[in-house]
Structure 1
Amino acid sequence: MYLSMYSFCSSFPKKTMPPRPDLLDFHGVSMTHYFTDNWEKIQNFQARPDDILIATYPKAGTTWVSYILDLLYFSQKKPDRQTSNPIYERVPFLEIMIPNHPSGTDLADSLDSSPRLIKTHLPIQMIPKSFWEKKCRVVYVARNAKDNAVSFFHFDRMTYVQPEPGDWNSFLQRFMDGKMVFGSWYDHVTGWWERKQSHPKIHYMFFEDMVEDTGREINKLCSFLGLTSTTKEKDQINNLVQFDNMKKNEMANYSTVKAMDFKISPFMRKGKVGDWRNHFTVAQNEQFDEDYKKKMKNTTLQFRTLV
């Protein structure tokens, strides 16, 4: 199998890692060159009808849902799959491109599994058209803005392929301004929400619902995907994907990736709802709430933030 971006980075000593990338404006969306250098191939990517696209804003539960789907489809058919390759190889990151190494599109093309599970952080307007033409199913996961911002902040702190995060206050302002890799959280979650209203093959999930009752959300996924897993199988999957179990699982927790500094923060940090209260000051929260109301006033999309 091809080396993924993270496998590539794991072979790099930290001292020789390339400098952190700068944000650039790309078709009106803040990005870095790691996600734009392969743009022609991304846009011309040929999806297959049974592909399942896992779409999220960064740090909204991508790995969690990827692992759930991988188990639903392959835990019985290919039990060795869970221990042979880490999740980032089993579910390739479509838009990633590291010079002189296989791109996300190459990794996806190399998959021999059916269905192929492919992840993306692209906003709705940037999704390759073949996913729509082939009528692929999409699982979108959204997380409330405050917790998403906190998780993104700690991720940027520990990940060398992300831009410098700065301090929490400046990071939060950039989050509100949409100056983040993959653009505005507000545009991302609402863009996918609006498309879902007219596209029956999009399953829109909420991180908070998954925390509240993972088993219930697995059942909803099975219904959407037309899967008939037994109660025993779903109970086993539910146990495997609990946060504490995933955090200890080297095939899921990214602990082998040298591009991430676990001394700063683990890739899987807390997995909770409401941790934002440990980061937001009263003034920051008031400012954020006022800005949030303005940006979300024209959508029916609602989140549970645990105020």
Structure 2
Amino acid sequence: MIKRNEGKGTPPSKHLALDDSETQQLDSALTEVEMDQQLRPKLIDFHGVSMSKYFTDNWDDIQNFQARPDDVVIVTYPKAGTTWVSQILDLLYFGKTSPERQKTIPIYDRVPFLEIFIPSHPKGTELADQLTTSPRLIKTHLPVQFLPKSFWEQNCRIICVVRNAKDCAVSYYHFHRMNNIQPEPGDWSTFLKDFMDGKVVFGSWYDHVNSWLEKKETYSKLYVVFYEDLVEDSGRELDHLCSFLGLCPSPEEKESVLTKMTFENMKKDKMANYSTLTVMDQKVSPFMRKGKVGDWKNLFTVAQNEEFDEDYKEKMKNSTIKFRTEL
């Protein structure tokens, strides 16, 4: 608890004297600091998946969320290109008809995070319910078994973005460092072990990715985007996305999307780079850090890489999907 000196010791100088308005402002600022210091949650086991209270405390509303047939859901394991694809879809659907959206509304309001629940902030379910767009764009990190059943019942389009495990681990580590609603990550070595063991929020990368890829076999409106493919050839992947969504942008519209969706432009864009969220300390690490394929090489030691590869081989032995860890 942060407290001000109240009449003990040396009195403050006249230059530090505060009127009632200033005192209230200081109290408010101190309260925000104290709240931020209490935000870091503990990891919990939630129906067999590691989670935190910020994604489970609103569980009834999440599970009872009412989808609409034209909803488009963006599903990812954390740090797999969620914001990137959210921006792409928002530009494709509304870049021409409502260009002011991208200039005035943060991406997390344009594409709400369904399961987020931070006290004193709007619930993700409420933000999604309040969307007036058609379609509604909604993002989630939920494992396949946790997705609200109404999305399946309404036969909604789902875009699943997947990224290689090594780059995901590195990006998620830096995200933990700067995001105060994530558990304390410890050092890199500790975090990497937790990641391999699935002891991070939203659980095992392996379980999450494999279960969503398996769902593609039985659900025709699920489309998978590989982060590495999007980095390699954005134009090609944009065409594939449009085909899945039934969109036919003009050459000029497509060129506009390709320009605005670049990592460099999004990193400078206050409506896309999360710089307006106080729970994230971008002085520790920027939300949009590098956006590269193969950045894991700058953090993994040789021994860590060898151990990771052995563990990966065992956990992915039944998968036919080959992820690229470099381009």
Specify if TM > 0.5: yes
Change (3 A) 1:220 1:21: same
Unaligned runs of 5+ in 1: 1-9
Q: 2:107 aligns with which of 53, 74, 87?
A: 87
Measured in 1, the distance between the counterparts of 2:99 and 2:207 equals 39
Could you say which residue in structure 1 is the equivalent of 2:170? 150
Encode CA deviations 1:75-122: one digit per residue, 9 max, x unaligned. Answer: 111111111211000000000112244211111000000000000000
Encode CA deviations 1:180-233: one digit per residue, 9 max, x unaligned. Answer: 100000001110000011211011011100100111111100000000101111
Measured in 1, the distance between the counterparts of 2:223 and 2:91 equals 18
Q: Quote how far apart the aligned CAs of 1:300 are.
A: 1.5
Say if 1:146 and 1:276, in contact at 8 Å, map to a contact too.
yes
Could you say which residue in structure 2 is the equivalent of 1:201? 221
* One-letter amino acid matched to 1:253: N
Q: 1:252 aligns with which of 248, 266, 272?
A: 272
Q: Quote how far apart the aligned CAs of 1:32 are.
A: 0.3
Could you say which residue in structure 1 is the equivalent of 2:118? 98
Could you say which residue in structure 1 is the equivalent of 2:132? 112
Say if 1:14 and 1:258, in contact at 8 Å, map to a contact too.
no
Q: 1:141 aligns with which of 161, 179, 193?
A: 161
Could you say which residue in structure 2 is the equivalent of 1:16? 35
- Which has more radius of gyration? 2
Measured in 1, the distance between the counterparts of 2:274 and 2:189 equals 27
* One-letter amino acid matched to 1:264: V
Could you say which residue in structure 2 is the equivalent of 1:175? 195
Give matches, 1:226-241, under 5 Å: 226-241=246-261
Give matches, 1:290-305, under 5 Å: 290-305=310-325
Measured in 2, the distance between the counterparts of 1:99 and 1:185 equals 27
| SS of match in other structure, 1:198 | coil
Encode CA deviations 1:242-300: one digit per residue, 9 max, x unaligned. Answer: 10111001110011111111111000000000000000000000000000000000111
Unaligned runs of 5+ in 2: 1-28
Say if 1:190 and 1:301, in contact at 8 Å, map to a contact too.
no
* TM-score with structure 2 setting the length: 0.89
| SS of match in other structure, 2:244 | helix
Name segments (4+ residues, structure 1) moved above 3 Å: 10-16
Give matches, 1:15-54, under 5 Å: 15-17=34-36, 18-54=38-74
Q: Quote how far apart the aligned CAs of 1:306 are.
A: 2.2
Query: Structure 1 residue 166 and structure 2 residue 166: aligned?
Result: no
| SS of match in other structure, 2:216 | helix
Q: Quote how far apart the aligned CAs of 1:14 are.
A: 4.1
Q: 1:279 aligns with which of 299, 324, 327?
A: 299
Change (3 A) 1:12 1:196: farther
Query: Structure 1 residue 69 and structure 2 residue 89: aligned?
Result: yes
Say if 1:55 and 1:119, in contact at 8 Å, map to a contact too.
yes
Q: 2:149 aligns with which of 113, 129, 133?
A: 129
Count of residues in Structure 1 that have an aligned counterpart in Structure 2? 298
* One-letter amino acid matched to 1:82: Q
